[in-house]
Amino acid sequence: MDQIDSEILQIIGDFASALEAAAVQVKHRIAELTSLKEAVAVKEETFNILKFEKRQGARIGEYELAYKANNITDKWVHAFNILRQNNSIINSRYEGQGYFYRYWIYGEGKIYRQKLKVYS
């Protein structure tokens, strides 16, 4: 093997090491962001105190709906604001560690929830 081949192999080795180090940093950052998101999630009781009505949808199956008019206004508004601040829509539902449901809003005056699926 000549000088050029050795230099090329060294460059490739250095590049691979740099990629590995970057991958480790990305994994650490993802872990930090995930734990941060879970740490800032409110307790599920914030939502469980609301009165939900069972519904059935053709696309999403069973879900529950809490209407503003059927709940204590300040409790409902607090829950709604949490969901709105977290951009919790049907494609990006709100949940925290240990939650039994995922929550989202659609339109004014309604909070939706659906049981989390447990996989074994």
pLDDT (tens digit per residue) in 3-22:
778 888 878 877 766 666 66
Are 68 and 97 in a shared domain?
yes
Averaged pLDDT, 105-109 = 90
Computed over every residue of the chain, the mean pLDDT equals 85
| Residues of the domain holding 88 | 45-115
* CB-CB neighbours of 71 under 10 Å: 18
| Residue 89 DSSP one-character state | B
The reported pTM is 0.65
Averaged pLDDT, 42-46 = 94
Burial (0-12, 13-18, 19+ Cβ within 10 Å), 43: exposed
Are 6 and 53 in a shared domain?
no
Alpha helices, DSSP H, located in 41-119: 45-48, 73-85
The answer, yes or no, to whether residue 45 has pLDDT greater than 50, is yes
Would residue 120 count as lying in a domain?
no
pLDDT reported for residue 120: 44
Are 23 and 57 in a shared domain?
no
The answer, yes or no, to whether residue 84 has pLDDT greater than 50, is yes
